[in-house]
Amino acid sequence: MAYKSLEQCLIDLEKNNHLIRVKEEVDPFLEMAAIHLRVHEAGGPALLFENVKGSKYRAASNIFGSLERSKFIFRNTLATVQRLIELKNDPVKAIKQPFRNINTGLAALKALPLKNPSSKPVLADEIQITDLPLIQHWPMDGGAFVTLPQVYTEDIDQPGIMKANLGMYRIQLTGNEYEPNQEIGLHYQLHRGIGIHHTKANKKGQPLKVSCFVGGPPSHTLSAVMPLPEGISEMTFAGVLGARRFRYAYEKGFCISTDADFVITGEVYPGENKPEGPFGDHLGYYSLQHPFPLMKVRKVYARKNAIWPFTVVGRPPQEDTSFGQLIHEITGDAIPQEIPGLKEVHAVDAAGVHPLLLAIGSERYTPYKPSKQPAEILTIANHILGTGQLSLAKFLFITADDTNNLTTQNVREFMEYLLQRIDFTRDIHFYTNTTIDTLDYSGSGLNSGSKVVFAAYGEVKRELCKIVPFALKTLQSFENAQLCMPGVVSVQTQPFTTYEAAQNEMQLLNDQLIDKMDQLLHTQLVIVCDNSSFVSETLNNYLWVTYTRCNPSHDIYGIDSFTENKHWGCNGPVIIDARIKPHHAPPVQKDPVVEKRIDRLFDKGGSLYQAIK
């Protein structure tokens, strides 16, 4: 159905047993986030907090907490949007099947934003930042944050909504050096559309006008995170997905989403930054305090009976995992269509998304050669690492499958397929001194680090070990060898101190194994870690620890390694040092006092007694 507001969506969810109301007073300082996390982990419903301490406004979370619920919200438009994307990728289909696509064409009419609608509910009240539900999510967070914002900016050279950008960039409302009610922090990362607008405004010495919409129809929230091609307006996508034209107006020179629950307007002036953070982020660690743009608040608006939507991010999977799953449902083959030869790509959520990317490409360059080795997939890998947010990938594992039976969605099966075929003397390719995700602290500085491509193609070269080789059980200074998955073994050692010490430690490991290579023929990766039992306990633990805590150029070693004509390779297993380093951000951890305090809601008689049953 076409929701006109967030509340209309929540009422629909409640009628269909997808939502529970929390009637007890809850504290936005840590309690609300802890409640959300417990319900989400149990696969529970959306939550409507009706009594938020310190604010007259209600708050809602876990709205998109499962793929099932997300698809339910967009049940009447999902197929149409998928069809529109399919037609964009193959417009000939529209010509061949005109009657089948009439409804799709009519739905596309909703894409045109509607300026100055007769009703502007969001302008009902003018309030202050301190009137909002000021939710702090994790104990070390720098203050309260907006976690489901729709941040709107316009191109100073081409003003207007059709050239505007709507993105989800976290907003810090309180704490640090911000003047209460006057200043808030605007955090955005690499490869974000807002950066282009900010750069243009800076060059002209003019402030960038920013409008932060919160709430409104759920299609608006999803549109803010959609990886749309440059030049396609998020507002047009919101209209089609929500079956309701995006309604907007200009107020005091700022664009206002009139269907939003709240709007914060302000300006970012050239060169004006303040410390932002820390913030417990979606990699499962805190992003630390750094200078980010300062937004000077002009006006804050709210509709009558407004509802503040929020989410909580942390070690995946969390609610934002469902965003990714829904985006994959909607876009289908859209990304492979943009890169010739690419069949499938998967940013692995369990590894924090950007740290680990899996891809399947084509191999068509040399069909006349009997031997198979990576060729076209190397070209595809370069294209991937030069494309939008895919370029933030740190580890890229890429292969080709002539049978078309392999999928990146089955991570274990994909990894086994690649490790059975890879040649470590030839198939590892490093990109040093480059950019990585802003939230990834494994590198040498903010946004700085390295990347590596593992490319494999050809016939099976080996079977993978399914038990720990004896050679890895009898090491000095490395202990508790555990099988993480076929071909991958973890060992633990003393905590990391310096890279000079690490070089010596890895040399010791090499010296112990180089004469036992015959025992390691079926072992491809050895993960050096702080707690081998934890790393090997689940596939997700292995993925999270290994790929979030490693800077490829600094932390990858190999048994009997060599450098030849500037190409690095090894004759034995690859060693990945996945220990926590002194410069890493700390992992997020729940507060046991808060956990005990929220038990009252889950005990018999509490609002959430049935929510996690």
The pLDDT tens digits for 81-109 are 887 776 555 443 433 444 454 455 556 67
In a shared domain, residues 431 and 537: no
CA–CA gap between residue 469 and residue 520 (Å, rounded): 7
Supply the CATH number for residue 189's domain. 2.30.110.10
> Which SS3 state, helix, strand or coil, does residue 117 take?
coil
Residue that finishes a domain, picked among 422, 456, 490? 456
> Which SS3 state, helix, strand or coil, does residue 301 take?
strand
In a shared domain, residues 481 and 377: no
pLDDT tens for residues 219-267?
999 999 887 766 678 999 999 999 999 999 999 999 999 999 999 999 9
Q: What is the pLDDT at residue 333?
A: 58
316 part of a folded domain:
no
CA–CA gap between residue 173 and residue 454 (Å, rounded): 42
In a shared domain, residues 54 and 80: yes
Phi, psi of 360 (to 5 degrees): -120, 125
502 part of a folded domain:
yes
In a shared domain, residues 161 and 124: yes
517 part of a folded domain:
yes
Place 446 in a pLDDT band, splitting at 50, 70 and 90.
Answer: confident
CA–CA gap between residue 66 and residue 561 (Å, rounded): 45
In percent, the amount of the chain with pLDDT more than 70 equals 93
In a shared domain, residues 303 and 344: no
Residue with tokens 């080996």: 462
Q: What is the pLDDT at residue 420?
A: 98
What's the mean pLDDT when you consider all of the chain?
A: 92
| pLDDT surpassing 70 at residue 602 | yes
Query: Beta strand pairing status for 58-61 and 307-310?
Result: parallel
In a shared domain, residues 399 and 495: no
CA–CA gap between residue 418 and residue 59 (Å, rounded): 46
| Cα atoms in the 13 Å half-sphere on the side-chain side of 107 | 23
In a shared domain, residues 408 and 528: no
465 part of a folded domain:
no
132 part of a folded domain:
yes
113 part of a folded domain:
yes
Supply the CATH number for residue 435's domain. 3.40.1670.10
594 part of a folded domain:
no
Number of domains in the chain: 3
> Which SS3 state, helix, strand or coil, does residue 411 take?
helix
Query: What residues have CB less than 8 Å from 157, skipping those under 6 apart?
Result: 200
Q: What is the pLDDT at residue 90?
A: 47
Supply the CATH number for residue 497's domain. 3.40.1670
Query: Beta strand pairing status for 286-287 and 574-577?
Result: unpaired
Residue that finishes a domain, picked among 310, 338, 371? 310
Residue whose C-alpha is closest to residue 283's, from 450, 138, 145, 429: 138
- Adjacent-strand bridge partners of 286: 280
In a shared domain, residues 401 and 479: no
Q: Report which of residues 188 and 253 the model is more confident about.
A: 253
In a shared domain, residues 181 and 67: yes
In a shared domain, residues 200 and 88: yes
Q: What is the pLDDT at residue 55?
A: 98
Cα-based distances in Å from 353 to 298, 328, 346, 393, 585: 35, 13, 9, 8, 17
With residue 251 as reference, give the H or E element that holds it. Answer: strand 247-251
Q: Which of 323-327, 563-567, 596-600 has the lowest mean pLDDT?
A: 323-327
Residue that finishes a domain, picked among 285, 310, 335? 310
In a shared domain, residues 295 and 338: no
Sign of the Cα pseudo-torsion (368, 373, 378, 380, in order): positive
Q: What is the pLDDT at residue 107?
A: 63
CA–CA gap between residue 301 and residue 123 (Å, rounded): 6
In a shared domain, residues 16 and 152: yes
Q: What is the pLDDT at residue 231?
A: 60
Which two three-digit tokens encode residue 364? 């068509």
Range of the domain at 354: 325-456
Which two three-digit tokens encode residue 130? 């301190």
Note whether 592 and 585 are within 8 A (CB): no
With residue 457 as reference, give the H or E element that holds it. Answer: none
3-state helix, strand, coil in the chain (%, to 5): 30, 25, 45
Angle (CA) 363 369 371, round 5°: 80
606 part of a folded domain:
no
- CB-based burial label for 309 (10 Å; 0-12, 13-18, 19+): buried
| pLDDT surpassing 70 at residue 368 | no
